[in-house]
Structure 1
Amino acid sequence: MKKVFISIICGSLFLSCKPVSKSIEDTLNSQGTSVNQKEQRKDHTVTNTEQHTEGTKTGFLNDTDRLLSAEVALKNLPQYAGKEIFIYLFLSFYDNGTINVMLQHPENPDYVDVYDYRDGKWSAPVPKQLSVEEDIQHGLISLNKVSFATVAQVNKIYREKASGIDGVKPLTNIYITVVNNVIDWYPMNIEGSRERYAIRFNTDGTLKSFKQD
């Protein structure tokens, strides 16, 4: 049984919040997902993402070797041979070993495809229907600027900070969003039973800030 909460950040001078959030929602809903939670951060809308799959090997978020193996496999997809890969809007990692991502089409820059990684393999591309209001160029980041190994560092820092807070649920999902060609790492909050902390990461996964709300 699978339960997924979708994530995306939007609301900028260049990206319309409605089409961007709908793009993510439609993409993950097509894979059996459901929207469950929303919270406001300044002028951005953020929805936290979480996925659980029964009977699947866990520990992916802390396994640098498996993370890098997934990255190498993505870069070696035949359709991207000799081409730079660009992530569009989001890249999401789950502790059960799965990854969800949207990539700019290798031939037509106006197209986007959805890819899933599970059981150590990347899926075939699934065409993504885009709104005419979506500005693809400002939602892109080169895969060369994103190391999958950074996930393990974010995971380590998050768990270290969460260890001293009562009632924090296990971390099962780490993801990035891309707005105006800039990466943000999530989660951005640590929720305890009596306390809530804001946590921010630099692009390279190092700790940027940590403070109680």
Structure 2
Amino acid sequence: MKNLIIIIATGILLTGCEKVSKSINETFEPVADTTAQHTKNEEIPVSVPSPYSPAVEKQIEEAQRLVSTMLEKHTKTRTDTYKEGENTDFLTNEEKLKSAEEALRKLPQYAGKEIRVYNIIHFNDNGSIRAMLQHPTNPGYIDNYEYKDGKWSDPTPEQMSVRDDIESRLVPLEKIDFANVAKAANVYHQKIEQVEGAKPITTIYISIANNNLRWFPASINGSRERYSIQLNQNGTLKKFERE
């Protein structure tokens, strides 16, 4: 069983957290009703364990936590390279965040077109943002943009594969309110203060899978304890518990 959990969890690097979580649950689904119809008159052994027993549920939860940890570590390898310059409290400044969003909406190449964010967007406390956007005229293309010193860069192309499921990792910009980053930052700061030895965050990022948002970091590490943390899509606290 432990090997099964590890195999499922490694799929996160290819399919996204929500999709893997779905596969975890499907792994433990009971057999189809057609099987039950053929055997309804047969006696079912009492010793057969329920697929939703407490032990199985615990294994599912452990696998899902492993999935979240793997995604966070995988994404962090990219965000580490973006930490440049001194912190400017950008993450908690709603006005600056709104200005960045407004500037993005005004990019001339998207005039009269919908802006769709792809895969991930990073917000850094030094005042920079990294975003991946669907090309304004070719939906099979993805471009990288950086917000720095109050303006957005020209696009640089992202190399894509035919195996990339672009559509499932897109959300319209309307679904990502930059002001919610300030809400999220305040939640993180409040919870970090409650954990001995936890370091302040300098980067918040949003991952997109199955056209839904997920906030990161997904954990807070202290010198003695580790906590998992989940936020609602609007940046408010959803769940905070010790691991």
Q: Residue deviations 1:128-147, cap 9 Å, x none?
A: 11011101101100001110
The Cα shift of 1:207 comes to 0.7
Over the aligned positions, Cα root-mean-square deviation in angstroms equals 2.1
Residues 80, 136 of structure 1: CA spacing in aligned structure 2 closer, same or farther, 3 A cutoff?
Answer: same
CA deviations over 1:108-129 (Å, ceiling 9, x no partner): 1111100001001100011111
Gaps in structure 1 of 5+ consecutive residues: 1-7, 17-39
Distance 1:157 1:59 in 2: 14
- For residue 12 of structure 1, report the CA deviation from its aligned partner: 4.5
Q: Does 1:88 align with 2:92?
A: no
The amino acid of 1:109's aligned partner reads P
Comparing both chains, which one has the higher relative contact order based on Cα–Cα distances under 8 Å and sequence gaps of 6 or more?
A: 1
1:129 is the counterpart of 2:159: yes
Aligned amino acid, residue 123 of structure 1: S
Per the alignment, residue 11 of structure 1 pairs with 15
Distance 1:59 1:78, change over 3 A: same
CA contact (8 A) 1:188 1:200 kept: yes
8 Å Cα contact 2:192-2:200 kept in structure 1: no
TM-score scaled by length of structure 1: 0.80
Q: Could you report, residue by residue, the CA deviation over 1:50-107 in whole angstroms, capped at 9, with x for unpaired residues? A: 44323x3521001100000000000000000111100000010000000001000000
Answer yes or no: is the 8 Å Cα contact 2:17–2:67 preserved in 1.
no
Structure number with the higher helix fraction is: 2
Task: Give the corresponding residue for 1:74.
Answer: 104
Contact 2:229 2:240 in 1 (8 A): yes
Identical residues among aligned pairs (%): 47
- Structure 1 residue identity aligned to 2:210: N
Report SS of the residue matched to 2:181.
helix
- In the alignment, the residues of structure 2 paired with residue 13 and residue 192 of structure 1 have an alpha-carbon distance, to the nearest angstrom, of 24
Q: Which amino acid aligns with 1:93?
A: F
- Kindly indicate whether residue 83 of structure 2 is the aligned counterpart of residue 52 of structure 1: yes
Give secondary structure in 2 for the equivalent of 1:61: helix
C-alpha distance in structure 1 between counterparts of 2:106 and 2:184, whole Å: 25
Q: Secondary structure at the match of 2:234?
A: coil
Counterparts in 2 of 1:175 and 1:14: CA distance versus 1, 3 Å: closer
Q: Structure 2: where are the runs of 5+ without partners?
A: 1-11, 21-63
CA contact (8 A) 1:11 1:43 kept: no
Structure 1 position 42, deviation (Å):
4.0
Higher strand share: 1
Instruction: Tell me the residue number matched to 1:145.
Output: 175
Does residue 160 of the first structure (1) align with residue 190 of the second (2)? yes
Is the CA contact (8 Å cut-off) linking 1:101 and 1:114 kept in structure 2? yes
Equivalent pair of 1:14/1:135 in contact (CA under 8 Å): no
For 1:111, the aligned partner's letter is Y
CA contact (8 A) 1:85 1:106 kept: yes
User: Which residue pairs with 2:220 in the alignment?
Assistant: 190
Please say which structure displays the higher CA radius of gyration.
2
Query: What is the Cα deviation at residue 149 of structure 1?
Result: 0.5
